Amino acid sequence: MFPNQQVLQDNCGYDFDNGENLAKWRGIFQSSLEKLLQQVHPTLEAQLDALEYVEKLLFKVLSMLCLKPTPHSIQDVEERIQKMFPNPIDRWAIKEAHSAVEKGKKKCPVTLPAEKVHSLLQKEILMNKVDYQVSLYIMGVLECIGADILNLSGSYVKNIRHIKITVEDVEVAMWADKALMDLFHQDEDVSSVLLEDEPVTGSSLTYDEVVKNLIHEEKQYLRDLHMIIKVFREQIASLVNPSSKVSRVYMYVCWDVA
C-alpha cells in the first residue's frame, strides 16, 4: 500500500510549500519544461501557471525519491522507485534514468538542469555530498514523468482543438491516466481503500471522521464534475442549438458546481 502524503513530508523533512524553501526552488524547471513540451508537441504552448503546476508535481516526485533514509546511490533510488511508483511508470522511469546516466558519460543527457538540482539536493535535501550520477539518475526520472504529463496534456489539448495548455487541461489529462493518478494521489487512494474495504458503523465514527469523509466525497464529486464539463461541454456545444435541452442541462450543471 502506498504511504500517505503526510508520511512523505515527515520522512523527507523538506517542505517544498514552505516559503523560504520554495524560493530556492521555484522556477528551476519551468524553462526546461517548455523545451520538453517543444519536443513532444512542437506546435503547442503552455500557460505559465500550467508549467508551475507541472513543476510542483515534479517537486512531489522529488520528495518521494528523497525520503529518509536519504539515498546515497543509484541503487537506493531505484529501490525506492520500485516500492513507490505504480506500474508501468516504475519501469519507464528506471529505463530513462539508466539511459540518462549512460549518456551522461559523453554529453548532457537531460533537458532538466541537472547541475543546479545536484547542488540544491546536496545543500537542501540530502544534506551531504552525493555522487553527481545519483542526481543525474533522479533527473532522468523527473524528466520521464514531466515529459509524460506534457505529452498527455498536449494530446488532450489537440483533441479539443486548442493551442495552449492550461492548468485545467493538465488536470483533466492526468485524470484519464490511472498510473499518474496512482502516483500523485497516493494519500487519497489509501483513504478510498480504507473506506471501501473496512466499512464501519456510524456509531463508531467520531464527528471529525464523519466530516472528513463527507469532505473527501464532495471533493471527489466536484473533480469528476469538472472533468466531465471540461471534456464534453465544448464538443457538445458545437453540435447543438444554444436553446436545446442539452445546453440547459449544462447550464444547471454549472450552477451546481458554482
| The pLDDT of residue 256 is above 90 | no
> Is 192 a domain residue?
no
3-class DSSP assignment, residue 46: strand
The answer on 145 and 63 residing in a single domain is yes
The confidence score (pLDDT) of residue 164 equals 95
For residue 163, being part of any structural domain is answered with yes
Residue 123 to residue 14: CA distance in whole angstroms: 12
Same domain, 170 and 255: no
162, 185, 208 - which closes a domain: 185
Last residue of one domain, picked from the residues 185, 208, 224: 185
Both 17 and 73 in one domain: the answer is yes
Residue from 123, 113, 114, 90 nearest 14 by CA: 123
Q: pLDDT tens for residues 186-206?
A: 655 433 433 444 444 445 678
pTM of the model: 0.71
**What is the CATH number for 67?**
1.10.20.10
Mark whether 219 and 161 lie in a shared domain.
Answer: no
- Please tell me whether residues 161 and 206 are part of one structural domain: no
Could you give the number of structural domains in the chain? 2
pLDDT per residue as tens digits for the range 63-118: 889 888 888 999 999 999 999 999 999 999 999 999 999 887 667 789 999 999 99
Regarding whether 180 and 74 lie in a shared domain, the answer is yes
Tell whether omega for the bond before 113 is within 30 degrees of 0, i.e. cis: no
Report phi then psi at 131, rounded to 5: -60, 140
Instruction: Give me the chain's average pLDDT, please.
Output: 80
User: Cis link prior to 86 (omega < 30° from 0)?
Assistant: no
Say whether both 181 and 204 belong to one domain: no
Does 195 reside within a domain? no
- Please tell me the predicted confidence (pLDDT) of residue 1: 37
Give yes or no: residues 165 and 47 share one domain.
yes
**141 & 208 share domain:** no
244 and 158, same structural domain?
no
Residue 35 is which amino acid? K
Mean pLDDT of 19-35: 92
Whether residues 116 and 221 fall in one domain: no
Residue span of the structural domain in which 113 resides:
5-185
Q: Which residues contact 94 (CB under 8 A, 6 or more apart)?
A: 78, 81, 82, 141
Three-class secondary structure of residue 164 per DSSP = strand
- Please tell me whether residue 29 adopts helix, strand or coil conformation: coil
Q: Which residue has the higher pLDDT, 250 or 178?
A: 178
